[in-house]
């Protein structure tokens, strides 16, 4: 991972995204959801993607697994472990999903089959991808996985509705880890969870990363969560990365005015400046189909100048290993 456009794609990267554009074809015309996103991840890296609804973060996650709906136009390049994702055969793609990269969705109840025990659902990918030779080996592996995610082995025989929200999220993480992927994509895995359960799941993800050098992409709208889970942070707005850098630095000392607003949205408890004075941005996130001209953030930007309406700024260097897309930098 580094400042895009001046880092060459070398095999040292596990995942490399080059100038990715994703456009949904709708009845009302093309809607650009992701516009020119580039980043690289080395094995063991962790990247946090933050942004609000409609910023393209979930579309990006789906694209990394080629899970986009049919009829979606993509351009650019996604390379996973040296393989070009968009030119993979269906068989090659199946192998990449689960064994190279896997995803944990939010809303754990919908992602699980209600009429199968969770144990069977964890075994299934191993048998499909033949990473385990027999049912017995797969069951044994599931038992280990459950232990790793903090579930007792007897839970293997449970049906999803018999588990709590936090337990189901753990099952989903176990499932995602079933084929020992190199890259784990977590799309808002803690959004629906309570504070304490969220903390448990975050701690689990951190622990898994420490033990097995897992590469992580973590997506959420809550910047403060990312700041502590990920080493690097990329902020998305209107389909683009508008700021990136080392996460605590981005969080504590944001360069882009949007990041500043996002970081201030969840107050620091104990900070007198935010006590009884919540701050928010005016307006709403733009609809991807109708972006304002120039910098898409300018209608909501407290620092906007006249020139912001003219051209959309690209990412520019904003310190060591940091970049932001704002003309004021």
Partner 1 sequence: MRTDLSPIVSVDEVSIFFGSARAVDGVSLEVLPGEVLALVGESGSGKTTLIRAIQGLQQVSGGSIRHRDRPEQGSTDLRADSGVQMIFQDPTGALNPRQTIYDIVAEGLRIRRDGTDEEKRVGDALARAGLRPPERFFPMFPHQISGGQRQRVVIAGAMVMNPILLLADEPVASLDASIRGEILALMRQLVDDTGLSILAVTHDLGLAWNIADRVAVMYLGRIVEIGTTEQILEDPQHPYTRALLSVVPETRRMEQQILQGEIPDSKRIPAGCRFHPRCPLYRSGDLDETIAARCTTEDPHLMLGAGWHAACWAVDPQTK
Question: Which residues lie near partner 1 (CB under 8 A)?
Answer: 52-53, 164-166, 194-200, 203, 221-225, 227-228, 258, 261-262, 264-271, 274-282, 284-285, 300
DSSP for 188-249 reads: STTTTS-HHHHHHHHHHHHHHHHHH--EEEEEES-HHHHHHH-SEEEEEETTEEEEEEEHHH
**Minimum separation from the CB atom of position 96 to partner 1 (A):** 32
CB closer to partner 1, 140 vs 284: 284
CB closer to partner 1, 112 vs 163: 163
Under a CB-based contact definition with an 8 Å cutoff, are residues 326 and 296 in contact? no
CB closer to partner 1, 83 vs 224: 224
Cα separation, 227 vs 249, in Å, equals 9
Main-chain dihedrals φ then ψ at residue 270, nearest 5 degrees? 100, -10
CB closer to partner 1, 81 vs 231: 231
Cα separation, 238 vs 116, in Å, equals 39
**Minimum separation from the CB atom of position 275 to partner 1 (A):** 6
**Minimum separation from the CB atom of position 259 to partner 1 (A):** 11
**Minimum separation from the CB atom of position 282 to partner 1 (A):** 7
Q: Which residues pair with 15 in a beta bridge?
A: 41, 80
CB closer to partner 1, 64 vs 235: 235
**Minimum separation from the CB atom of position 269 to partner 1 (A):** 5
DSSP for 15-83 reads: EEEEEEEEEEEETTEEEEEEEEEEEEEETT-EEEEE--TTSSHHHHHHHHTT-PPTT-EEEEEEEETTE
Taking residue 125's Cβ as centre, other Cβ atoms within 10 Å add up to 22
**Minimum separation from the CB atom of position 202 to partner 1 (A):** 8
Under 8 Å CB-to-CB from 48, ≥6 apart: which residues?
A: 217, 218, 219, 220, 226, 227, 229, 230, 232, 233, 234, 247
CB closer to partner 1, 79 vs 167: 167
**Minimum separation from the CB atom of position 223 to partner 1 (A):** 7
Under a CB-based contact definition with an 8 Å cutoff, are residues 230 and 77 in contact? no
CB closer to partner 1, 197 vs 304: 197
């Amino acid at each position: 991972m580094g400042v895009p456009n001046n880092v060459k794609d070398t095999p040292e990267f596990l995942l490399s995204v080059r100038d990715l554009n994703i456009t949904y074809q709708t009845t009302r015309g093309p809607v650009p959801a992701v516009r020119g996103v580039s980043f690289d991840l080395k094995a063991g890296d962790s990247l946090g993607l933050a942004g609000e609804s409609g910023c393209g973060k979930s579309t990006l996650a789906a694209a990394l697994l080629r899970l986009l709906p049919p009829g979606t136009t993509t351009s650019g390049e996604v390379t996973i472990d040296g393989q070009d994702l968009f030119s993979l055969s269906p068989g090659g793609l199946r192998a990449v999903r689960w064994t190279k990269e896997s995803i944990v969705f939010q809303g754990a109840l919908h992602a699980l089959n209600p009429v199968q025990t969770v144990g069977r659902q964890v075994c299934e990918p191993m048998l499909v991808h033949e990473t385990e030779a027999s049912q017995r080996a797969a069951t044994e592996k599931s038992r280990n996985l459950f232990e790793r995610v903090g579930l007792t082995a007897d839970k293997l025989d449970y049906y999803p509705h018999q588990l709590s929200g936090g337990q189901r999220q753990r099952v989903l993480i176990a499932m995602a880890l079933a084929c020992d992927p190199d890259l784990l994509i977590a799309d808002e895995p803690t959004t629906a969870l309570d504070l304490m359960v969220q903390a448990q799941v975050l701690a689990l993800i951190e622990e898994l990363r420490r033990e097995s050098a897992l590469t992580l992409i973590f997506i959420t709208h809550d910047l403060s969560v990312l700041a502590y889970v990920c080493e690097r942070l990329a902020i998305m707005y209107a389909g683009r990365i508008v700021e990136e850098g080392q996460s605590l630095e981005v969080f504590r000392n944001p360069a882009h005015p949007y990041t500043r607003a996002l970081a201030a949205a969840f107050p620091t408890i104990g900070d007198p400046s935010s006590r009884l004075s919540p701050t928010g941005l005016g307006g709403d996130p733009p609809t991807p189909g109708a972006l304002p001209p120039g910098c898409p953030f300018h209608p909501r930007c407290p620092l906007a100048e006249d020139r912001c309406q003219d051209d959309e700024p690209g990412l520019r260097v904003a310190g060591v290993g940091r970049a932001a897309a704002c003309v004021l930098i």
